[in-house]
């Protein structure tokens, strides 16, 4: 079952297309990474998912229901943290959650449960002004969990955190998914974190999805590089570029391939053009390299 589905989602701002026919499918129980460079449309997509951007009917479905016609019902089962949480710094962490309990008619016993989940039990009585940024982010997630929603939408939850804070957030997100069954949708630009956290991901570029699927599928489909060194790398690059993306890095050719047979094709091309091959070996790209190649313009793309 898909918790989130978008159907040819489009959105214009000032007559300029921001989202251009996005079809997202976020499976129940997944940790779903949503990646894209600045200006790609990530924030607009999240606003639309939360009903904060006007979109056509049936273009966004959460829990199988249209956000346009069932927004209140959907948001009752959706928690969100958009970059930095809105907190009362002069109040304690406990009191911040207490206010939200009153607004949502949530039993007060839920506060201690949440403080324990986000590892703030010993700091619940402290004023939020004394919290580190990581503690504030965890308190924000506690607030998002107040009504025990099935879906969490987190926009840059590790933004600005130090390595220890990033580690704590990673552990918390994994725990919420594995131990509490939360489906978690994460927008982030920290590619290493997404690679460690997410079972599925989508990459957005200029308002269009350029990939969607399991993280392992992205590696299998795009992660192959062929490293080559020849007697004339300049000539070799020109020949190979007719059929494969190629660039010269540190005096070596880096060639993007998809099939095992591509290496044989390249080898034969070099041989027919009387180029000696000194080195020809495969190398796997990491997620950061894959992300760059999928979102780069034609002049930058490998």
Domains of the chain: 2-219 (3.40.50.300), 224-284 (3.30.70)
Asked whether residue 133 carries a pLDDT value surpassing 90, the answer given is yes
User: Average pLDDT in the 9-14 region?
Assistant: 90
Element (H, E) at 4: strand 2-6
Say which residue, 285 or 83, is predicted with more confidence. Answer: 83
Specify the higher pLDDT residue, 217 or 281. 281
The reported pLDDT for the residue numbered 284 is 65
Q: How confident is the model at residue 299 (pLDDT cuts 50, 70, 90)?
A: very low
- Distance CA(203)–CA(295), nearest Å, equals 8
Question: Residue 137 contacts by C-beta under 8 Å, 6 or more apart in sequence?
Answer: 81, 84, 85, 157, 158, 161, 165, 169
What confidence tier does 293 reach under pLDDT thresholds 50, 70, 90? low
Query: Residue 42 — φ and ψ, nearest 5°?
Result: -60, -50
What distances in angstroms separate CA 89 from CA 120, 127, 152, 158, 236, one per listed residue? 15, 6, 24, 20, 62
Q: Specify the 3-state DSSP secondary structure of 273.
A: coil
What pLDDT band is residue 193 in, cutting at 50, 70 and 90?
Answer: confident
- Between the alpha carbon of residue 239 and those of residues 131, 169, 246, 265, 276, the distances in Å are 59, 48, 10, 12, 14
pLDDT, tens digit, 9 for 90 and up, residues 66-112: 999 999 999 999 999 987 888 999 999 999 999 999 999 999 999 99
Q: Let me know the angle formed at the C-alpha of 165 by 111 and 204, rounded to the nearest 5 degrees.
A: 100
Which residues make beta-bridge pairs with 9? 22
More reliable by pLDDT, 205 or 120? 120
With bands split at pLDDT 50, 70 and 90, how would you rate the model's confidence at 181? very high
Q: H/E element holding 163?
A: helix 163-178
pLDDT value for 302 = 47
Q: Helices 133-144 and 109-117 meet at what angle, rounded to 10?
A: 130
Buried b (16+ CB within 10 A) or exposed e, 172-201: bbeebbeeeebbbbbbbebbebbbebbebb
Highest mean pLDDT among 77-86, 92-101, 191-200, 284-293: 92-101
Q: Which residues contact 87 (CB under 8 A, 6 or more apart)?
A: 96, 128, 136, 139, 140, 143
Residues β-bridged to residue 126: none
State pTM to two decimals: 0.79
Average pLDDT over residues 236-251: 90
Q: What pLDDT band is residue 298 in, cutting at 50, 70 and 90?
A: very low
pLDDT computed for residue 258 by the predictor? 77
pLDDT(285) > 80: no
């Amino acid at each position: 079952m898909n918790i989130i589905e978008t159907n040819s989602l489009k959105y214009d701002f000032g007559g300029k297309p921001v989202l251009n026919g996005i079809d997202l499918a976020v499976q129940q129980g997944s940790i779903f990474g949503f990646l894209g460079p600045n200006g790609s449309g990530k924030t607009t997509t999240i606003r639309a998912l939360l009903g904060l951007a006007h979109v056509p009917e049936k273009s966004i479905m959460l829990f199988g229901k249209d956000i346009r016609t069932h927004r209140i019902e959907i948001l009752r089962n959706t928690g969100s943290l958009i970059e930095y949480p809105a907190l009362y710094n002069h109040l304690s962490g406990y009191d911040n959650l207490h206010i939200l309990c009153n607004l949502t008619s949530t039993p007060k016993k839920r506060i201690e449960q949440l403080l324990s989940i986000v590892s703030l039990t010993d700091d619940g009585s402290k004023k939020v002004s004394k919290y580190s940024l990581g503690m504030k982010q965890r308190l924000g997630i506690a607030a998002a969990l107040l009504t025990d929603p099935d879906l969490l939408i987190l926009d840059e939850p590790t933004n600005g955190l130090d390595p220890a804070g990033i580690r704590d957030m990673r552990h918390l997100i994994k725990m919420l998914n594995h131990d509490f069954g939360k489906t978690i949708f994460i927008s982030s630009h920290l590619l290493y974190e997404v690679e460690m956290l997410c079972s599925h991901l989508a990459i957005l570029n200029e308002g269009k999805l350029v990939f969607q699927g399991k993280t392992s599928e992205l590696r299998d489909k795009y992660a192959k590089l062929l490293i080559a060194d020849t007697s004339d790398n300049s000539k070799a690059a020109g020949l190979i570029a007719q059929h494969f993306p190629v660039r010269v890095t540190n005096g070596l050719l880096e060639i993007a391939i998809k099939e095992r047979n591509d290496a044989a094709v390249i080898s034969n091309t070099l041989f027919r053009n009387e180029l000696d091959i000194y080195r020809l070996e495969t190398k796997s790209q990491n997620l950061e390299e894959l992300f760059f190649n999928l979102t780069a313009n034609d002049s930058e793309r490998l």
